[in-house]
Amino acid sequence: MTTILIIGIFEALFLGILVLTKRQKAVPDYFLAVLLFVMGFTIVASYIEQYNIANNYPYPFFIHVSPPLIFLHGPLLWFYIKSFTTVKFKFKPHYLLHFAPFLLAFILMWVSTYSMPAESRIAEMQSENFKANPIYPVMVTGIALFTQGYFIWGLLLISRYRKKIRNYYSKVENIDLSWLKFILVAAIIAYAINSLLFLGDYFLDLLNFQVLQLSTFIVGSLFILTMGFYGLRQTNVFYSVNQPGINVEKQAHADNQQPLQTKDEAFVHQLLEYMNIEKPYLKPDLTLKELSHQLNVSPDYFSGILNRNLHMRFFDFVNQFRVEAFKDACQDKAKQNFSIIAIAYDCGFNSKATFNRVFKNMTGYTPGAYQKKAQ
């Protein structure tokens, strides 16, 4: 079973090196690499503890080294998401507070375990008397609450980000961080299983510590393998430098401003006329920045017009023209032999799933049902 730990160690190190050797790196890449190395070292510590138990403790220094390290997993993953979704992210001094629980955990472990002579640490490990120490349930409960709290916080950041990118992009399927949401959900499940095993053992004395630790770190290794497989399969887990950063705090504040004045109605008329005549929506990856440049206005002004005058996000605004173009095409006899997806691509869509979802939301019909109705 320890073979899985070894695989997890090499997987974490391999992925960390892969991130650091990219030609183009951004701040999120460094957080991701550090996270992978910390997770790898956490499993290294667990593996050595298993080796200690099986070989009469030749390395007593590594007894209980892994618990404080787990307090770094949540903050580092949070920093990765935060830097990924924030424009020009900078590490601020108060961010150091995120590492306070790790420091506190290390101090508690130093007082209860690390400062003890090697012989005493070995004797306590063999007898499992450390479970009677009040610090043990505090550490187990702290890990459970702290890791889950950060993973849920990360999901909230992604949720806010996914809502905001629709204010800037007409195509979001490659930038909506679905892969990262999947990783966070996997982390919640994996760490929840580990926490429940430790808490259940503390109250019910289910397993000896060797089996308990081996089982939980095998789950952790499987999580790293899942993250690596999914990331390499999706590829964009290692491609963050060109991903859009959205300052969700700044945008949320902007959304609370006063409604625009009637003087902007002239621009609205110009905008709608431009969309109908020039048809910029036919470009699949049209962005708010690009369209605002074509209209000679700033992106912030354009975004304000859409949000507070037309009450729409950029994603919905552009795709409504694509939907109308598809509806018109369905009534064009010259295109009656075209497939639905071919017509959709001609109208500016480039994802079947996105097209189906957007069309159904805007019309109440599936594309197939509407095409039959139109013909």
Q: Are 183 and 107 in contact (CB under 8 A)?
A: no
315 closest CA partner among 102, 162, 117, 104: 162
- CA–CA gap between residue 131 and residue 102 (Å, rounded): 20
Sign of the four-CA dihedral 277, 281, 286, 289: positive
> What pLDDT is stored for residue 1 in this prediction?
65
What is the DSSP secondary-structure string of 55-98?
Answer: TT-S-GGGTT-HHHHHHHHHHHHHHHHHHHSSTT----GGGGGG
Q: What is the pLDDT along the chain (375 residues), one digit of tens a residue?
A: 678 888 888 888 988 888 888 777 788 888 988 999 999 999 999 899 889 888 989 999 999 999 999 999 999 999 988 988 887 788 999 999 999 999 999 999 999 999 999 999 999 988 888 888 899 999 999 999 999 999 999 999 999 888 888 888 888 877 778 888 888 998 999 899 989 988 988 888 877 788 888 888 888 888 887 776 665 554 444 444 445 555 544 444 444 444 445 567 888 889 999 999 999 999 999 999 999 999 999 988 898 888 888 888 999 999 999 999 999 998 888 887 889 999 999 999 988 989 999 999 999 999 989 888 877
CA angle 73, 79, 82 (to 5 degrees): 140
> What pLDDT is stored for residue 240 in this prediction?
45
Tokens in use for 82? 């935060």
> What pLDDT is stored for residue 15 in this prediction?
86
> Tell me, what amino acid is at 27?
V
- CA–CA gap between residue 223 and residue 193 (Å, rounded): 11
Tokens in use for 96? 């150091």
Q: Are 304 and 257 in contact (CB under 8 A)?
A: yes
In order of 32, 171, 296, 312, the CA distances from 77 in angstroms are 7, 26, 40, 32
Place of tokens 């580092």: 76
142-159 burial by CB neighbour count: b if 16+ within 10 A, else e?
bbbebbbebbebbbebbe
**Angle, nearest 10°, between helix axes 178-204 and 66-84?**
160
